[in-house]
Structure 1
């Protein structure tokens, strides 16, 4: 099965290929650079926007898109759907991480509950389907570890004492929000063929 991925992130492509055991092709390899405006109000809406935008251009294909991020209830759910651009458009992972750490420090919060959400949208000639995955835990007001990306160095998953930035990659693959959503997406994809 060939899946067109609504991302050109090589790390994400590799992760999805491994979990789905399918050929995953970044959309840019087929369509070049196109602009997709993510103006949804939820992770699910944004994933669907991306999947539909690409599927409209390659309607006989299977397109997979994801949208994910971290939410901190003590900060009103921030950064939420703005996780990738929390410190502004074009911000780096490090800048986004630092902004979240600063927000916690401004409120004198050392550790507080948080969760990651992943929404996967699959667009195909058979329709559009979505799956979700969550990872619960806590964020801390400092970065620890250099593994992973994004907010991983400040997120401690439920049942662990280390941040995702300190944990082994195999552990993260097993417990991550994206892995959970992809395992469900795999079931959807298997029923399509």
Structure 2
């Protein structure tokens, strides 16, 4: 079984990617080397994903390893696309998922509305010997100003995917897997893995 090293220590992301990439041994890089700070200073999801994947690939010092990084976030129309690339640190540098969630709901309320069209973006970067590839996935829907459901992580309790009336926090995991921006991107990434 091929080993796929993830350039993240986010438990939610690791769990989701493990569930979607069952033909690989999926390992967060922190199981192989100590965690280190990666400065994501680009202005697109794609570039930030590449920064993470390159940094971990270099730090591992094994040219045959396959490193995958994901940079993802939510963009809300009424907030002119915010939080976007700042989704993970929207409420501040060391903000928790809950802090970010509540700040986003409050910011939408401050616009005088209780919902807004929104979408999730996932950019996946794959880095291995002499190869750098990126793919994207999207999920469209509505951001609401109340948290519903205990499932998922991040902004899931406030996001209703198009064609549904439940939030990602309430939807069954199997349904969520089919809809997810990350699963869309991973399905494209899987074509790249086949030729590596």
TM-score with structure 1 length normalisation?
A: 0.96
Unaligned runs of 5+ in 1: none
Offset at residue 18 of structure 1 (A): 2.5
1:165 corresponds to: 169
8 Å contact from structure 2 (residues 12, 153) kept in 1: no
Contact 1:164 1:172 in 2 (8 A): yes
Tell me if the contact between 1:20 and 1:183 (Cα under 8 Å) persists in the aligned partners: no
Match of 1:111 in 2: 115
Indicate whether 1:134 and 2:138 are aligned.
yes
Report deviation, 1:9: 2.5
Q: Decide whether the 8 Å contact of 1:104 with 1:110 is kept in 2.
A: yes
Q: Distance in 2 between matches of 1:83 and 1:75?
A: 13
Unaligned runs of 5+ in 2: none
Deviation at 1:142, TM superposition (A): 1.1
Tell me the equivalent position of 1:62. Answer: 66
Trace 1:12-91 onto structure 2 (pairs within 5 A).
Answer: 12-21=13-22, 22-57=24-59, 58=61, 59-91=63-95
Contact 2:157 2:170 in 1 (8 A): yes
* Pairwise CA RMSD: 1.1
1:178 and 2:179 aligned: no
Q: TM-score, normalised by structure 2?
A: 0.94
Q: Given the alignment of the two structures, is residue 187 of structure 1 paired with residue 191 of structure 2, yes or no?
A: yes
Whether the 8 Å CA contact 1:5–1:27 is kept in 2: the answer is yes
